[in-house]
Structures are given as structure tokens and as C-alpha cells.
Amino acid sequence: MIIDKNDLPNYNNDRINQNNKIIDELLIDDYIYELIKKYNLEKYTYIDDVRVFSLLPLKGSLKYINKYTNELRNGGLLIKIYQKEEKWYGIVKKVNERKYHVSFNTNYIFYLEHRTRDQKMRETLELFMTDINKGKYDVK
């Protein structure tokens, strides 16, 4: 690739900006991974795209971490998602019936899909059967 020496400063700036963008994306992923480990959120899915957030199924468990204070909020049951003035919000309902409005823009969002009682029972049974097949239990 041949570059005109007059375009070299622009080319270098573009490359630097491109590299910085890649590094920033990698750093945010590492930071999110650290938050997941710190707050034991392995079962939750990190929601990093507003389009995904806007389409989350209701009745799932939502936890969120404030981007500025890094405080974990245990959130609650996701009961509504709405847009106001170009920003997206979710409403979570706590066990004590209180409701909170959670901004996608100012929080890291973690979501756990709602499972029915039958789904939980099936998963437990599958784990038990796997343990039996591994020889963890003496079955005669």
C-alpha cells in the first residue's frame, strides 16, 4: 500500500483511533468479566446492547451495577421496558412491592431469564442423572 506523505498524519491518526477503539472494547470486556466475578453474576447474561435490552422478556431477574459508583443493585423482577427522551429504562419490582426505574445508559445490566417450576425440576433431574452416570451415587 502506497501512502502520499501529505496524507501520512491523517493515516496515522486514523490508525491510532482505530487501535484505541479496539483496546477500549477489550478493556470493557475485561472490566465486565471482573464485575461478574466480583458480584458472582455467572448465571446472569450481561446486556451490552440497547436493542437487546429493549427486547428482554419480562418476568426475568434483573441486576444492575451503577457505572459511576460500581455499586451492585440487586434489582428484582423486570416488569416493564420503555423509552423516554431517546433513553431506555426498565422497571423492576422488588419483593417488598417497591418499583425502581433502571436506566440502561447509567448501569451495567445483567439479566437472568425466568424459568418455570417445571424447567427447574427438569434441570435438577438432568444434573442428578448426569451424576449417576458419572458414578457419584451407588445405585443398585
84 shares a domain with 22: no
Grid coordinates standing for 76?
428484582
Question: Of 7-11, 50-54, 61-65, 73-77, where does mean pLDDT reach its minimum?
Answer: 7-11
18 shares a domain with 48: no
The overall average pLDDT reported for the chain is 81
Q: How far from each other are the two terminal CA atoms of the chain, in whole angstroms? A: 72
64 shares a domain with 31: no
| For range 18-45, the mean pLDDT | 75
78 shares a domain with 17: no
Domain membership of residue 95 (yes or no) is: yes
Residue 99: which residues within 8 A CB-CB, separation 6 or more? 79, 91, 92, 93
13 shares a domain with 82: no
Long-range (24+ apart) CB contacts under 8 A made by 90-96 are: 90/53, 90/56, 90/62, 92/62
95 shares a domain with 30: no
Q: Are 45 and 111 in contact, with CB atoms under 8 Å apart?
A: yes
Domain membership of residue 135 (yes or no) is: no
50 shares a domain with 26: no
Handedness of CA 134, 135, 136, 137 (dihedral sign): positive
92: domain CATH number is: 2.30.30
Domain membership of residue 11 (yes or no) is: yes
Q: Which domain holds residue 101?
A: 43-122
- What are 79-133's pLDDT values in tens digits? 999 999 999 999 999 989 899 999 999 999 999 887 666 666 777 777 778 877 8
Number of independent structural domains in the chain: 2
31 shares a domain with 83: no
125 or 22, which is more confident?
Answer: 125
d(CA 48, CA 75): 17
100 shares a domain with 52: yes
Closest to 90 measured CA to CA, from 52, 118, 128: 52
31 or 3, which is more confident?
Answer: 31
Residue 39 in this model has a pLDDT that exceeds 90: no
Domain membership of residue 101 (yes or no) is: yes
Q: Where are the beta strands (DSSP E) in the chain?
A: 45-47, 61-66, 72-84, 87-93, 99-103, 107-112
The pLDDT score that the predictor gives to residue 122 is 74
| For range 4-20, the mean pLDDT | 65
